[in-house]
Amino acid sequence: MEVLIRDNSDIGCVLGAKIIARVVREKPDAVLGLATGRTPLRLYQELIRQHREEGLDFSRVTTFNLDEYVGLPATHDQSYRYFMRESLFRHINIDQKRTHVPDGTAADLHAECRAYEQKIIDIGGIDIQLLGLGRNGHIGFNEPTGSLRSRTWVKILSEQTLRDNSDVFGSLEKMPRHALTMGIGTILDARRVLLVAFGPAKVRAVEQMVEGPLAGICPGSALQLHPRATVILDENSAAGLHYADHYRWIDRHKLAWQKYD
């Protein structure tokens, strides 16, 4: 696992955008796995800036989002389909038909999960999967103790996740209790994964993910199995790491072709 610690989330997000933009420049028909939530917003703003000011071209890019709430239609302002349209898709030259978000209103949710997996396989897999990290260590909506080999499935959201995300719904009662999410196995199949986690609320989850044992209690720790996982942190989220100096040392001694900034 490559751990990159930056001074603040702003610098971290610009770095994350640089990594994704490089994938798109090298492979114009890249398949991007995307995340929602507060953390990647600044990263998406930077991708939009690069599109507008530097001609970053998304016309042949395909995207697959990690997850969606069960029961929320694309028109609902808290659905992840809506979030992606407002935060990224409508600001770049992506073909909307190439953007995929699981359908949380599907009559048969299990069939929708299977079809989502198949679409990812049919296109040849995901080139780079962007992830955030839940305060409880979840990736996608794979909550603690779920299977580390899961495929896209229906999950029950934990109480912690409900509390963390309910502010935008106005109250906890209005929040869906279930979501469709790529499984951990689906995430690990991406050719590359890029996780961003910032702020003091993520300190324990980051420590468990990077330095804890590989364990279902911290789904993020599954990234230890991935051959090409990059984690971008700020000083706050990295504060609990015992080997922070080691990660900084590795970062400083990279060969020219291994450097990002």
Q: Is 12 in the site for ligand F6R (CB under 6 A)?
A: no
> Which residues are paired to 5 by β-bridges?
233
Instruction: Specify the residue for token string 């990059």.
Output: 230
Q: Is 140 in the site for ligand F6R (CB under 6 A)?
A: yes
Nearer to ligand F6R, 27 or 38 (CB): 38
Measured CA to CA, the distance from residue 244 to residue 242 in angstroms comes to 6
Residues 220-239 that bind ligand F6R (CB under 6 A): none
Q: Is 192 in the site for ligand F6R (CB under 6 A)?
A: no
Measured CA to CA, the distance from residue 4 to residue 147 in angstroms comes to 27
Q: Is 37 in the site for ligand F6R (CB under 6 A)?
A: yes
Q: Is 36 in the site for ligand F6R (CB under 6 A)?
A: yes
Residue 174 has a CB neighbour count (10 Å cut-off) of 10
Q: Is 252 exposed, middle or buried (0-12, 13-18, 19+ CB in 10 A)?
A: exposed
Residue number, nearest CB to ligand F6R: 132
Stretch that binds ligand F6R, among 10-18, 118-126, 139-147, 210-218 (CB under 6 A): 139-147
Nearer to ligand F6R, 71 or 250 (CB): 71
Q: Would you state the structure tokens that stand for residue 73, as one six-digit string?
A: 């239609």
DSSP 237-255: TTTT-TTHHHHHHHHHT--
Check if 136 is active-site.
yes
Q: Would you state the structure tokens that stand for residue 239, as one six-digit string?
A: 């504060």
Q: What Cα–Cα distance (Å) separates residue 23 from each residue in 71, 77, 191?
A: 34, 30, 11
- Catalytic-labelled residue, pool 143, 189, 207, 234: 143
Q: Is 66 in the site for ligand F6R (CB under 6 A)?
A: yes
Check if 93 is active-site.
no
Stretch that binds ligand F6R, among 4-12, 37-45, 113-121, 207-215 (CB under 6 A): 37-45
- Catalytic-labelled residue, pool 46, 67, 117, 234: 67
Is the distance from CB of 46 to CB of 24 less than 8 angstroms? no
- Which residues form the catalytic set? 67, 136, 138, 143
Site of interaction with ligand F6R (CB under 6 A):
35-39, 66-67, 132-134, 138-141
